[in-house]
Amino acid sequence: MASLAWVISSNPGHALSPNILAHDAKPRKICYSQCSTFFLPPHRSPICRMGFVSGLERKRSLKTRIFASVTDTPVNAYPEKVQLPKGDCWSVHKFGGTCVGSSERIKNVAKIILSDDSERKMVVVSAMSKVTDMMYDLIYKAQSRDEAYISALDAVLEKHKSTALDLLDGDDLSSFLAQLHHDISNLKAMLRAIYIAGHATESFTDFVVGHGELWSAQMLSCVIRKNGLDCNWMDTREVLIVNPTSSNQVDPDLKESEDRLEKWYSKNPSKTIVAAGFIASTPQNIPTTLKRDGSDFSAAIMGALFKAGQVTIWTDVDGVYSADPRKVSEAVILKTLSYQEAWEMSYFGANVLHPRTIIPVMQYDIPIIIRNVFNLAAPGTKICRPTEDETDQGLESFVKGFATIDNLALVNVEGTGMAGVPGTASDIFSAVKDVGANVIMISQASSEHSVCFAVPEKEVNAVSELLQSRFREALNAGRLSQVQVIPNCSILAAVGQKMASTPGVSATLFNALAKANINVRAIAQGCTEYNITVVIKREDCIRALRAVHSRFYLSRTTIAVGIIGPGLIGATLLDQLRDQAATLKEEFNIDLRVMGITGSRTMLLSEAGVDLSRWRELQKEKGAVADMEKFVQHVHGNHFIPNTVLVDCTADSSIASHYYDWLRKGIHVVTPNKKANSGPLDQYLKLRALQRQSYTHYFYEATVGAGLPIINTLQGLLETGDKILRIEGIFSGTLSYIFNNFTGGRTFSEVVAEAKQAGYTEPDPRDDLSGTDVCRKVIILARESGLKLELSDIPVESLVPEPLKDSASAEEFMQKLPQFDQEMSKKREIAEDAGGVLRFVGVVDMVNQKGEVKLQTYKNDHPFAQLSGADNIIAFTTTRYKAQPLIIRGPGAGAEVTAGGVFSDLLRLASYLGAPS
């Protein structure tokens, strides 16, 4: 067994060891066995059974330094050396702190070990949950000369004592409690020494914090033995030898560790071994730890030493996710990962394994299984070398997962003087090294004009200041133009071994980011092609992660929808969405999730999506005072859904005035509201320019023909090179109904009243009869065709008699309208005498660069004379369709068809954003 040697230094004249705590002390050694008692009373020298060193009181002004080491003592020779078996007969299990966080959980771990049918088992355990933090806190308090370390140590004792009383009995309980009290006594003396010195070496700290693992290993081994299984526990400091590195990490010495394992096993042969994770020793036998994720690392090293069949890492999640499930609710468990994929994902912050953990097992092709100790039914994730028979195809298989790192800053060193100058990059990163900063990612263009790299934000100021100082001369001379810091950045990494040599992966990644309106600040990809890394704004990180994950991993396209104006059209659209929701999800993988509904007075907001089967009730029960800014912020602020669309079902010009700002923020807009596209020309041009230069979509098919494909048809003609000569049509379903029924002996006022009663007209029929609505549609088509016209440029023949324009109400207007029937009847008679009918039409004349709205006569054999009901009809005369115009005909009014046109635009948006077309 090893013994612990303590060095108390008090002579300033001797050379100093790196482990010595004082700069003015002479090393003098005191040795004691592990079962001896070490204590340091407040006013006395350190005492042990093997001797003591006096002089602390004589030299109270001197700082006292203490360090610890583990040294080998002679090993008693066994009559016959027991050979350590190696290979697949061993399975290695590692249990983290949450797995052994209580007596019940330790019993659960024991059951898992007992149920493992492997011939031999090596179990690596962490300290009980939060114990390692408690041990570090002891060191902190003692160094700070805070006497609360005594009560804190008592809490550590009580935690383990109460756990042992729940788990153990008889000799096992007596033995463990005796060892526990002994260890606590030693720690109390050690902490007292630290309290006096006001400082603890790294060796002291490592020795103190490693006790948690020792205690949990001892308790678990007792529980396993209690259940009838042969089991020994291992103080891993006797076996694992590691070499500290300059980067606050350690490298395992596998050869020396293997030799020590052979010796240990020859004295402690057993088919089940419980080892303390996290702790090890240096080649000089000084206690140390394996630093970050040390228990996982211990398990991997043990797997390599035993050449085990597999290493199972037990944790509290079902496996490795395709993305952080706290950020991407639809993240899925990955069945398998290659070593390289796990390595890449863990480097970029995924909750997988630390890259060091993978190295020892990778060289022996030992698979690692990540499993959930609280959900044994979950198969977990297997990390191994990829096999040739993996046949999963499709884009999803190329990218295994996505990970992010937050709180970064970009440093950009730029200047024409960098190009072709050897050593510039070396000088830059030499300065970064001098600061001790960690470079996460590097990117340099082939022009060598600039080098940018990402570092943790807390380190960027020091990096920037040193670079400014180091390159002061080059900056002053103009060889370098700037050392720029870009704060508030995050890194997004796409990882997959099959990405290598697969065309289109990068294109798909950047296309998904662009469609989510995410700007990429820097890009890096290694020649292995296992990883594509992009730097983005911190506030865009979750949205970007969700967008790329949705594009690659989930076929479902989810869009956050905000409905503005739940009136006749808006309410009908909501009902259509309700009726189609299940089909869209199951058959087309489209999830149009309504996150909010707002009217002029009340709004309904939901975090998960409004239940459309009862949205009217919910609006009454949970509705809040309408606030457009809060509404937009809520719908767009859901980071789990990367794409947002606002659907304006109003006819309100004030709502339309928000479109530009919404599009600029990356919010898509779908609307039947004509006010934006027929409003002031300069605002319209500004809106369309923004739409064309961004990946934000603005769809307005329902502004002209309700559900008829008029805008789409016009855009298709123009995009394919056709030239528009004339667009002529009956654009008003209301006026179409009126003139289709204004026949025989019926009066004009009678037909208008009938149309109003049937719900075809606006509440005030003058809004239809004035021709303004048709004029807006003409302007929309004229501008779409390339004419830069204002609404006032279109002459409109109003059907409202001049004396009735200023009627006080719609009712008064309807009462007085019969007085003017004779005038309209005369016009009808003239048309009939000429063998035709009256139709109210809008015209876009591209040849003469003008538009007009008027009442016109058409021959009875003309397509416009063949209409019935409230149908619309539009004729496109183009260079291709000159002799025979292209005609679109169908219902052009009514809530059902208008809402259907808006719904169609929503589905078109989903297709643009990645849904199957």
Residues annotated catalytic, as ranges: 777
Q: How far is it, in rounded angstroms, from Cα 593 to Cα 615?
A: 13
Q: How far is it, in rounded angstroms, from Cα 487 to Cα 485?
A: 6
The answer to whether 851 and 844 are in contact (CB under 8 A) is yes
User: Which residues 6+ apart lie within 8 Å of 824 measured at CB?
Assistant: 742, 747, 748, 799
Q: How far is it, in rounded angstroms, from Cα 644 to Cα 636?
A: 6
Alpha-carbon separation of residue 698 from 374, 573, 666, 717, 875 (angstroms) = 48, 18, 11, 19, 25
Tokens at 248, concatenated: 């606050």
Tokens at 29, concatenated: 């050694």
Look at phi and psi of residue 409 and say left if phi exceeds 0, alpha if psi is from -120 to 50, else beta: beta
User: Residue 800: enclosing H or E segment and its boundaries?
Assistant: none
Work out whether strand 557-564 and strand 590-598 pair parallel, antiparallel, or are unpaired.
parallel
Q: How far is it, in rounded angstroms, from Cα 708 to Cα 90?
A: 71
Q: Read out DSSP for 250-279?
A: EEE-HHHHHHHHHHHHHHS--SEEEEESSE
Q: How far is it, in rounded angstroms, from Cα 585 to Cα 106?
A: 44
Q: How far is it, in rounded angstroms, from Cα 699 to Cα 679?
A: 16
Q: How far is it, in rounded angstroms, from Cα 635 to Cα 606?
A: 9
Alpha-carbon separation of residue 882 from 349, 519, 577, 726 (angstroms) = 63, 45, 40, 9
The answer to whether 188 and 157 are in contact (CB under 8 A) is no
Q: How far is it, in rounded angstroms, from Cα 755 to Cα 735?
A: 9
The answer to whether 682 and 659 are in contact (CB under 8 A) is no
Phi, psi of 159 (to 5 degrees): -60, -45
The answer to whether 545 and 324 are in contact (CB under 8 A) is yes
The CA-CA-CA angle for residues 806, 811, 817, to 5°, reads 65
Q: Helix 148-167 and helix 170-197: axis angle, to 10°?
A: 170
Q: How far is it, in rounded angstroms, from Cα 29 to Cα 325?
A: 54
The answer to whether 295 and 277 are in contact (CB under 8 A) is yes
Work out whether strand 850-859 and strand 836-845 pair parallel, antiparallel, or are unpaired.
antiparallel
The answer to whether 853 and 735 are in contact (CB under 8 A) is no
The answer to whether 912 and 697 are in contact (CB under 8 A) is yes
Q: How far is it, in rounded angstroms, from Cα 452 to Cα 442?
A: 6
Work out whether strand 850-859 and strand 279-281 pair parallel, antiparallel, or are unpaired.
unpaired
Q: How far is it, in rounded angstroms, from Cα 521 to Cα 539?
A: 13
Closest CA to 408 of 465, 348, 450, 458: 458
The answer to whether 535 and 522 are in contact (CB under 8 A) is yes
User: Which residues 6+ apart lie within 8 Å of 93 measured at CB?
Assistant: 112, 113, 116, 121, 122, 123, 124, 299, 311, 312, 314
Q: How far is it, in rounded angstroms, from Cα 751 to Cα 758?
A: 10
User: Which residues 6+ apart lie within 8 Å of 67 measured at CB?
Assistant: 6, 7, 17, 19, 20, 21, 201, 203, 204, 286
